[in-house]
Every structure is written in structure tokens, then in C-alpha cells.
Chain A
Amino acid sequence: DADVTQTPRNRITKTGKRIMLECSQTKGHDRMYWYRQDPGLGLRLIYYSFDVKDINKGEISDGYSVSRQAQAKFSLSLESAIPNQTALYFCATSDRTSASVAQYFGPGTRLTVL
């Protein structure tokens, strides 16, 4: 969805390096999410944010941190990357009006940690 952009699209890094993945959205949504996708495991939630001052851990937050710089921007950091963080990372957004609304996903960032 072109309304949700992620940079970079691909990144190869080495163990121990600090990495930041960025997400921007023009949908005007309050809620933003970071997921990782691993083959055979589906998507798992890393962090989510309901607004600039509200950030929450998801089911697999260890080894990650986030920053919500503005309503439209939500960054994911790996302070010291390790090989098992090799995955496809997705940012998503949703409107806060109802739990029944769908989430809108960015194109993903493929991260490889050597």
C-alpha cells in the first residue's frame, strides 16, 4: 500500500550492529505497528503505538526498541543485531475508531543479519 512506506527495503548487516528501520504513513491513522514475518510462523507483533505518547510491547519485543517521532512516523531499532533477527519486517497502521477495522501494511523490509 503506497500510503505506508518503509525504508530501507532490503538491508544486510553484521552481528552486533545497530539498525534502524523506518516507517511513514500518509493515511492519517493514529495506530501503528511493527511485525516480523518468518516462514511458517505468520506475522508476530513486536511493538505497537496508539499515539505519539503511547507505545506498547507486543509478543516478541526483546532485542527491539521503537520510537514514535510523529503521528506519521514509527521507527524500529535493533540495538545489537543478531542472526535470528533475520526476517521480513512489516509496518502497519489502523484507524482507532473500531477494533473491526483492517490494518494497512507497508511493503516490508527484508533484513539479513550475518
Chain B
Amino acid sequence: AQSVAQPEDQVNVAEGNPLTVKCTYSVSGNPYLFWYVQYPNRGLQFLLKYITGDNLVKGSYGFEAEFNKSQTSFHLKKPSALVSDSALYFCAVRPIRLSGGYNKLIFGAGTRLAVHP
């Protein structure tokens, strides 16, 4: 079965320190990879995506993510965390089917990031 794993329910980071939110996936082929962020009482907001090319992709709010094909991972990173980064982060994967048809997004369970002053 195709799946996305976010192994940490919560990540705690001090403000100014680097942060990493982990994501691994199990899908066939070369999927498209996404990160979304959910602030309290808000819908999910798109942060960044990996389609092809450079393994390090940059997105909104200073976030970046590193794609590692051999480890089937797509970890979200930021060099210096802000208190305002505290939110729920979702990794999502879209398998690509060469035969066509709709390829739904598969979401991880989410990781809550808490950045402390």
C-alpha cells in the first residue's frame, strides 16, 4: 500500500535554531512531493514542492526541503526557526501513473512544530 510517514508527532525547537521535520514515503515510481502548513483555525497552505531537478527546493517563509531518492525521504528544513513557525506541517505525495487517471494526494499524519522563545 502506498503511504506517507511523518515519524514525529511533535518537534520542539528553540527560536533561532535549525529545524527539521521528517517525511518518508512508500509509493511506486517517481512521485511529486509537497509540504503544507496549517496554522490554527486555518486551512492548509502550500509551502513547497519537488517535481524534478535539484534535490533541494526552496519555498515560502524561508523553508526548504531536501529530496533523497535512495532513502525515499523529503525532509522539511529551516536554518533558523521563528516562534511564528509554530504550526502543523503535512507532507503529501502524489504518485505518478503513466497510464493516466487521477493520482490523488496521499497525506502524512502531520507533525506539530513548536518553536520556543
Contact = CB atoms under 8 A, between A and B. Distances in A.
Nearest to A1: B43
Interface stretch (A11-19, A39-47, A61-69, A76-84): A39-47
Given A106-B43, A107-B43, A40 B51 contact: no
A91 B42 CA distance: 12
26 contacts: A1-B43, A4-B43, A42-B90, A42-B108, A42-B110, A43-B44, A43-B92, A44-B107, A45-B105, A48-B102, A58-B104, A59-B104, A90-B43, A92-B44, A100-B32, A100-B51, A102-B34, A102-B46, A102-B49, A105-B43, A106-B43, A107-B41, A107-B42, A107-B43, A108-B41, A108-B43
B46 A103 contact: yes
B90 A43 contact: yes
A104 to B, nearest CB: 7
Interface residues of B, number: 25
Contacts, number: 56
Size bracket of the A interface: 20 to 34
Interface of B: 4, 9, 32, 34, 36, 41-46, 49, 51, 90, 92, 94, 96, 102-105, 107-110
A41 B5 CA distance: 10
Contacts of B51: 100
